Amino acid sequence: MLAQRGYLASYRTTIGAEECQLRRDLPHDAAAQCVAVVASPHAAEGSVVEQCPEAQRLATHPGVGPLTAMAFVLIIGEAERFPCGRQVASYLGLVPLEDSSGNRRPLGHITKQGSSILRFLLVEAAQVTVRSLPEWRSRYFHLMMRRGRKIAKVAMARRLAVCLYWMMRQGWDYQQWSKFGSHAGQPGHRHGVQ
């Protein structure tokens, strides 16, 4: 029994090292695929997106075009590997850098860990979404007055990334997602939307 555990432990470490290398290379491969999709002549037609149902669903969100939807699908991969939207935002580098020590917790600029291409596309898509949806516009202006324009743009891009993640994970289009919405803290919705 112990010999089997030792064998499994060494097997897991071997697989773990290979798996870690694949995970390190994954964002670069996905970014290369995304650049190839952008550079292809069929990208403008949208024929590449027509082959991907997830990208079609994500493109139903206001402000998100076929290019942003396809890049999100390629770089995120399977949505089930992230348990929550916060980890997706961290994976994309849209969370603030933290340099905590003792009781202090100063937050800095964004970490910029993930794909810079997808971060750029999300910021651009978030700006279009802010112009087209009144609730996003009011939130953007509130943040802009408090924190500044640049921070507000990144915050809206993070919100868009989390929204796209949940749409992708649940298999919903924008209409289904907006119908469900967030009813937390509102009276009459104690047990969720029925």
CB 84 within 8 Å of CB 150 = no
Coil, helix or strand for 108?
A: strand
Q: How confident is the model at residue 99 (pLDDT cuts 50, 70, 90)?
A: confident
Residue 163 belongs to some domain of the structure: yes
Looking at residue 96, its pLDDT comes to 85
Residue 18 belongs to some domain of the structure: no
Residue 3 belongs to some domain of the structure: no
Residue 4 belongs to some domain of the structure: no
Residue 99 belongs to some domain of the structure: yes
Give the mean model confidence (pLDDT) for residues 186-192.
Answer: 55
Q: Determine the Cα–Cα distance for residues 16 and 30; give it in Å rounded to an integer.
A: 21
For 21, 33, 48, the CA distances from 26, given in Å and listed in that order, are 9, 10, 21
Residue 13 belongs to some domain of the structure: no
Residue 181 belongs to some domain of the structure: no
Domain hosting residue 76, numbered range: 26-176
The pTM for the full model equals 0.73
Residue 71 belongs to some domain of the structure: yes
Total structural domains in the chain? 1
Q: Determine the Cα–Cα distance for residues 59 and 140; give it in Å rounded to an integer.
A: 21
Give the rounded percent of residues in the chain with a pLDDT score beyond 70.
68
Closest CA to 124 of 34, 70, 64, 168: 64
Determine whether 127 is exposed, middle or buried from the number of CB atoms within 10 Å of its CB (0-12, 13-18, 19+). Answer: middle
